Amino acid sequence: MATMTYRDALNAALREEMQRDEDVFLMGEEVAEYDGAYKVSRGLLAEFGPKRVVDTPISELGFTGIGVGAAMVGLRPIVEVMTFNFALLALDQIVNGAAKIRYMSGGQIGCPIVIRGPGGAALQLAAQHSQAFESWYAHIPGLTVVMPATPADAKGLLKSSIRSDDPVIFIEGEMLYNVKGEVPDEEYLIPIGKADVKREGGDATIICHSKTVTPALRAAETLAADGIQAEVIDLRTIRPLDTEAILASVAKTHRVVVAEEGWGFAGVGAEVVDVIQREAFDELDAPVIRVHQADVPMPYNKHLERAAKADAPKIVAAVRRVCYRD
């Protein structure tokens, strides 16, 4: 095991897959000469050269389209978007191109592309740069949506995503890049579509992903001091959703809180709750409660921003409610 940051784990995954397969290449704004806006691609230009680490113009629609075309003819592009807020400009290429080409070609043409970069809020980036769009992409048949929360998951899932024969939306946590954790040194792959139990417990389940995993674990520690043992399930992949892991935990604890960074309406949590009420309704001893961002554009003011976000105290309060301890 090596201890490294989330950023360096992503870098290791990119390097290993580019060494392994010469069809893998990276493209995006500032990925080459500048080593990446968040330094995820540090050192790759020097090792692989400008044909495989490609700086692009500021044109998400254009360079994402080039990536889709490259994937259709057999290459394995990794398209970095500086933030998924900017990927809105490339939605036509992603939704009407990458997601549909295998279906519309009768299986004759694949699209093994990874579109990756940070999503959600950071600190005081305001409404246009703080949006969590995972539920948008998960709504589209043909797209896989991956959101790792730890360095180990970041490496293992990115490597699996690059090897996927279908398009993957790989959303990183901007506030996670400096987080450190143990990462296996050897060849390390994590299957797409498998959730992870980040903490075991028997009194309530907290289902979360990406940047809500850390506050969920903090909430579980606070609750443990009050005699409530919460199980923390990290979805890791939004689509496909690991319904087996969700239902197994519900059957174990009988009380559930779903935490997510994005807005509540039509969010990831809504899908999770639907799975639970359809498949495990009789297991529930309390209604499922959701914790999510306030239904407003993200404020710039740091106090309002903090109030709008899902956090550990809100998760603690929700778990106490489902345990009838409030």
Q: What would the pLDDT profile of 25-66 be if each residue is shown by its tens digit?
A: 999 999 999 999 999 999 999 999 999 999 999 999 999 999
Continuous segment of H or E residues that includes residue 274: helix 268-279
Catalytic residue among 17, 29, 60, 80: 60
Could you give the residue ranges of the DSSP H alpha helices within 119-260? Answer: 134-138, 151-163, 213-224, 243-253
Single-letter amino acid, residue 264? G
Q: Which residues contact 85 (CB under 8 A, 6 or more apart)?
A: 119, 128, 129, 130, 131, 133
The percent of residues above 70 in pLDDT, for the chain, comes to 100
Single-letter amino acid, residue 203? D
pLDDT for position 27:
98
Is 129 considered catalytic here? yes
Q: What would the pLDDT profile of 233-265 be if each residue is shown by its tens digit?
A: 999 999 999 999 999 999 999 999 999 999 999
pLDDT for position 186:
81
Write down the domain spans for the chain: 2-183, 196-322
pLDDT for position 164:
98
Which overall architecture, per CATH, does domain 196-322 show? 3-Layer(aba) Sandwich (3.40)
- Of 187 and 243, the one with more pLDDT: 243
Mean pLDDT over 115-144 rounds to 96
Mean pLDDT over 187-202 rounds to 97
Instruction: Residue 202: name the closest of 224, 225, 234 by CA.
Output: 224
- pLDDT tier for residue 1 given thresholds of 50, 70 and 90: confident
pLDDT at 326 over 90: no
pLDDT for position 185:
85
pLDDT for position 9:
98
What is the 8-class DSSP label of residue 105?
T
pLDDT at 197 over 90: yes
Burial profile 97-123: b = 16 or more Cβ within 10 angstroms, e = fewer: bbbbbbeeeeeeebbbbbbbbbbbbbe
Q: CA-based Rg of the chain, rounded to a whole angstrom?
A: 20
Average pLDDT, the chain: 97
- Of 33 and 185, the one with more pLDDT: 33
Looking at 3.40.50.300, 3.40.50.970, 1.10.490.20, 3.30.450.260, the CATH number of the domain 2-183 comes to 3.40.50.970
Catalytic residue among 17, 29, 80, 129: 129
| Sheet containing 204-208: order of strands | 196-199, 230-234, 204-208, 256-263, 289-293
Instruction: Return the SS3 of 168.
Output: strand
Is 29 considered catalytic here? no
Instruction: Return the SS3 of 197.
Output: strand
- Do 2-183 and 196-322 have matching folds? yes
Q: What would the pLDDT profile of 260-284 be if each residue is shown by its tens digit?
A: 999 999 999 999 999 999 999 999 9
pLDDT for position 291:
98
